[in-house]
Amino acid sequence: MVSKYRIAVMPMKDVAQNPQAVWEALQAGNKRFVHQQQERPNQDILRRTELRAGQNPRAVVLSCSDSRVPVELIFDVGLGDLFVVRTAGEILDPAVLASIEYAIKSLGVELVVVMGHESCGAVAATAEALDGGKIPNGLERILIEKVAPSILEARARGRNDRPGYERQHVIEIVIQIKHRLSALQERIADGRVGIVGLRYLLSDGSTEQVIADGVE
């Protein structure tokens, strides 16, 4: 869908240094993506040269590895704007948590984003396995084991469809990150960092907010 109204763009490096401002900048970028008004900022040779001296991303994004979920394109940002961690089903393990903690403590990001998506294969496979379907062999089994608690929690809350499972899984991942990273808890408490959980819609390119702390 193309809008006749232009959506303002501000390079992420120029956004005010607070979680809400970063979140609003990402929302504006997603709106540009949805309405086919992408500006593709910070992608030129000057930006590449600047980044040789180091990186200063404004947010860390934990996203599903699904090839249909290109994080930087969805938010219309450029090089060095986001610190992105991707796993199938956006599942957590010690390396993922360490990466997020590094972004918070060493890189000074102001926002943590967890982004699931519509038609998630890991969620669908887990729901099928819980309903008596085949459980994958090998290491793929880990995905089922990691996602299963989210599906069970969703069902306990009366959410018995794929969108409900996907939203609940994002919620559970956000809760786990907050619980396991004391550095994040401290920074949310004093207003330095926020966290938001999203579900990306393949159907129209938008993101829906399902949970947040430290941002609106």
**Domains of the chain, residue spans:** 16-213
pLDDT of residue 135: 85
Q: Is pLDDT above 60 for 106?
A: yes
Strands of 91-140, DSSP E:
111-117
pTM across the whole model: 0.93
Q: Which CATH class is domain 16-213?
A: alpha beta
pLDDT of residue 12: 83
Strands of the chain, DSSP E:
59-64, 82-87, 111-117, 194-200, 207-213
Burial 176-211 (b: 16+ CB within 10 A, else e): bbbeebeebeebbeeebbbbbbbbbeeeebbbeebb
With residue 18 as reference, give the H or E element that holds it: none
Q: Is pLDDT above 70 for 6?
A: no
pLDDT of residue 132: 87
- Nearest in space to 60 (alpha carbons), one of 206, 208, 181: 181
